[in-house]
Amino acid sequence: MHLILLILVLLLSPTSLGSGISIYWLDKPLNLRVNAQIQGGVIYIPIEALKNIAEIKTTSQVAKVKYNGQEYNFVVGESKVTGIEKKMTKPCQLIQGEIFLPMDALSDILGLAVKWESKNRRIVLSEATEKPGVVELNFYEDGNKAVLEIEHRGPIKYFVTKNPPDNWQVEITDSSLLKPMPWILLEHPLLESVRVEQLSRDKVTLHLKSREGAVLESKIIGNKLILELMYSVNNFEYRNIGGLPLIQAESRTGLPEPKEYLTEDNQLVREFQGVKLKGTSAKKVINDELADYLEYQQIDDKVVAKIQLKRAITGIMVENFSYARLAKVKAVTTRENDLGTVLEFRVDGDTSLKATKELNTLKIEFKEAEVNNLKNQFKSTNEVKTLNFSQGENDNLIALIGLGSSSGYAIYQKDAHIYSVQIIKSQLKEKLIVIDPGHGGHDPGAIGSYSEEKDLTLDIALRLNKLLQNRGYKVVLTREADVYVPLSDRAKIAVQSNARIFVSIHANGSSNLEAAGVETFYAVGAAESMKLAQVVQKNLVNILNANNRDAKEGSFWVLINNIPTAILVETGFITNAAEEDKLRQELYRQKIAESIYQGIDSYLKSLI
Ligand SMILES: [Zn+2]
C-alpha cells in the first residue's frame, strides 16, 4: 500500500514538470529549497525567493508579504491579493508544501524587475530601479498665467476633469508621490489652492481650486506636466461713450491690465496677455461716426481686440477700465487730522462698505472686492494699531482694523475711488476725575483694632490716582496727605474743577462686629451715578471676592451736591477682624484701587 501511494504522489507532483529553473537575485543564485516551476505555460516562483527583500510570514494557506511598506496577502487558490486592489493572472499554488506565486505577480504586484532568460533557464530578479512618480511641484507666473509644473519620473499619463464652477482634478496614472507634497495656498488671482494626494497605490491626484471662469490648459514637455490656468473672455463689444470709443469685454475671470496702443493706420488695439478667448474670433461691423469695425482673435497666449477708427483720435479715453467682477482695493493710506486718524482706501470698481465694531476691532466689509497689487501705506497711530485683510464670504473683502484709544468712527465715500474711514480720537483724557479720600487729620473716621479709616482711604486713593493717570485720565485729589478737609470744601473742589466723576473712598465701621463686605452709594435719583456705582460695585465684588452689600441710594452730603456723576465707595469693614486684616494688606488695597479704576474706566467707555 505504501509503495502505490508513493508512486501516485510522484506522478501528480508538478515537480516532475519543468524542474531545473533556477532563480537569481541579480547575479547570485538563490539557495532555495524548491526551484521555480512551470505549470500550464506559467512560471511559478516560490515565496521563499523573496526572503532577502521582504518580510514574510506564512501559514499553510496564506503568505503575508511586507515589502516597501505595503502588506500583501497571497492566498492559495486565489488570484485576488488582499491589501491592494489587484488581481494576479493565475491563483497562488501550493507546491511541495510551499506557496508559489505566478511570475507576473512579482513585477505587477510587487513592482520588482523580473527577467526570464529562457536560454539559461533562469529567472533574474532585482528591485525595480526607479519607481515612476511625482518628484517636484512648482508654481510660477508666466505672462499673467498661473503655471503649475509637475516634474515626473517615468512616462506621464494623465487626464483632467472639471468640477464646476472652479475645481479641477488632474489624475496622473501609473504614478506615485515620491515625496510628500504640501497643500499649497496661493494668493494668485487665478489659482487659489493646490492639493496633491495619492489616493491609491498607482495614482496621484491634484486638486486645483481656480477662479471661476478660468481656463486650464495642459501639456507635457520632457519629463514635466505643465498645467496653465488662464484668464478667459467670452467676447468683446464696442461702445461709443460720448464720442470716445471703448472696447468692453465680457469675462467671468476679470482680465489683466491690457497693453493698449494706437497704430499708424488708426487702429485702437488692446492686447490681453495670458488670456483665452472662449468664444470664436469675430469681426463686427460698427460703421458709426467713430469706427468701422471691431475685431478680436486669439494670437498665441494673448487675445487681441482692435477697433478700426475712421480717423486718429487725439485723446484716447483715460477712463479706467475694470472688467473684473470684483472691485480692487489698490492702496491704503494713513493720515492724522484734528479728529483723529483717517484711513483711505483706494478702490477700483464698484463696492460698498459695511462696518461693525467689536471690542477693539473695527471690521469693514467691502462688498465683492479683493486686494490687488496693494500699495500699503498703513501706519500705526494712537487710534489705529493694525490693519489686516482677508477674503470673506460672498467674495467680500474684510479689513480688520485694530483700534487704539478711540471714541468712534465715520465711514464715507470721498469720491469715485476713495473710501475714508475716520477713527475719532478718544476724548477720555479731557475727563476730570476727583478722588476723595474720606476723613483725615483730626477726623480718623472709623477705627479698627489696628488701623484708622483715614489712613486706609488715603492709601487706596493714591493707588487709584496712579492707575487713572497711567491710563491718561486727569485726576484731582481732595486731599493728598493726612489733613482735615471739610465736606463742603471737598464738594467745592469737585464743582470748581468741572469734574466729570467724583469718587469718595471710605472704609466702614459698625457696632456689629460681624458686619462685612463692600457697598457703593449714589445720590437718590441720579441715574448716571447709579450706573457708575453698579459697575464699580460689580468689580469690587468680583475682584475682591467680597460680601456684596450692593450699589444703593445714599444721602451723603458729597453725593447730593451739583456733580453729574458721584459715588461713595465703602471698601470694607474695619470693625470686622477678618476684613481689617485684609484692608491692612497692601496687595488688597491695590486690588480695591484696581476694582474702582476698572469700574470707572468701563463706565466712561460705555458712554462712547
Ligand atoms: Zn467714612
496 C-alpha to center of ligand 1: Å? Answer: 23
Higher pLDDT, 604 or 380: 380
Q: Are residues 447 and 535 located together in one domain of the fold? A: yes
Q: Is the pLDDT score of 318 beyond 50?
A: no
568 C-alpha to center of ligand 1: Å? Answer: 9
Whole-number Cα distances in Å, 232 to 159, 303, 370, 444: 21, 9, 19, 86
Which of 426, 441, 461 terminates a domain? The answer is: 426
Q: Are residues 251 and 225 located together in one domain of the fold? A: no
SS3 26: coil
Which of 180, 211, 232 terminates a domain? The answer is: 232
Q: What is the CATH number of the domain that holds 419?
A: 2.60.40.3500
The CA angle 239-245-250, to the nearest 5 degrees, is 45
The pLDDT tens digits of the residues spanning 487-544 come to 888 888 887 777 889 999 999 998 889 999 999 998 877 888 999 999 999 999 999 9
Residue 319 located in a structural domain: no
Q: Are residues 195 and 249 located together in one domain of the fold? A: no
Q: Are residues 441 and 500 located together in one domain of the fold? A: yes
Residue 200 located in a structural domain: yes
C-alpha cell at 539: 468689580
Q: What pLDDT band is residue 180 in, cutting at 50, 70 and 90?
A: low
443 C-alpha to center of ligand 1: Å? Answer: 10
485 C-alpha to center of ligand 1: Å? Answer: 13
Q: Are residues 576 and 492 located together in one domain of the fold? A: yes
Residue 321 located in a structural domain: no
The CA angle 224-228-230, to the nearest 5 degrees, is 170
Query: What's the sign of the alpha-carbon dihedral 560, 561, 567, 573?
Result: negative
Provide the 8-state DSSP code for 21: B
508 C-alpha to center of ligand 1: Å? Answer: 6
Q: Are residues 119 and 6 located together in one domain of the fold? A: yes
Q: What is the CATH number of the domain that holds 14?
A: 3.30.457.10
Q: Are residues 259 and 296 located together in one domain of the fold? A: yes
- pTM for the full predicted model: 0.38
572 C-alpha to center of ligand 1: Å? Answer: 10
How far is it, in rounded angstroms, from Cα 567 to Cα 531? 10
Domain count, the chain: 5
Higher pLDDT, 16 or 373: 373
Q: Are residues 87 and 105 located together in one domain of the fold? A: yes
Q: Is the pLDDT score of 290 beyond 80?
A: yes
Q: Are residues 277 and 357 located together in one domain of the fold? A: no
Q: What pLDDT band is residue 41 in, cutting at 50, 70 and 90?
A: confident
326 C-alpha to center of ligand 1: Å? Answer: 66
Q: Are 601 and 535 in contact (CB under 8 A)?
A: no
Residue 166 located in a structural domain: yes
Q: Are 96 and 34 in contact (CB under 8 A)?
A: yes
500 C-alpha to center of ligand 1: Å? Answer: 22
The pLDDT tens digits of the residues spanning 385-405 come to 999 999 888 889 999 999 988
569 C-alpha to center of ligand 1: Å? Answer: 9
C-alpha cell at 191: 489659482
Q: Is the pLDDT score of 428 beyond 50?
A: no
570 C-alpha to center of ligand 1: Å? Answer: 8
433 C-alpha to center of ligand 1: Å? Answer: 20
Give the per-residue pLDDT at 481. 93
How far is it, in rounded angstroms, from Cα 571 to Cα 456? 9
Residue 28 located in a structural domain: yes
Q: Are residues 390 and 417 located together in one domain of the fold? A: yes
445 C-alpha to center of ligand 1: Å? Answer: 5
In terms of residue numbers, what domain contains 305? Answer: 234-309
Q: Are residues 74 and 182 located together in one domain of the fold? A: no
439 C-alpha to center of ligand 1: Å? Answer: 6
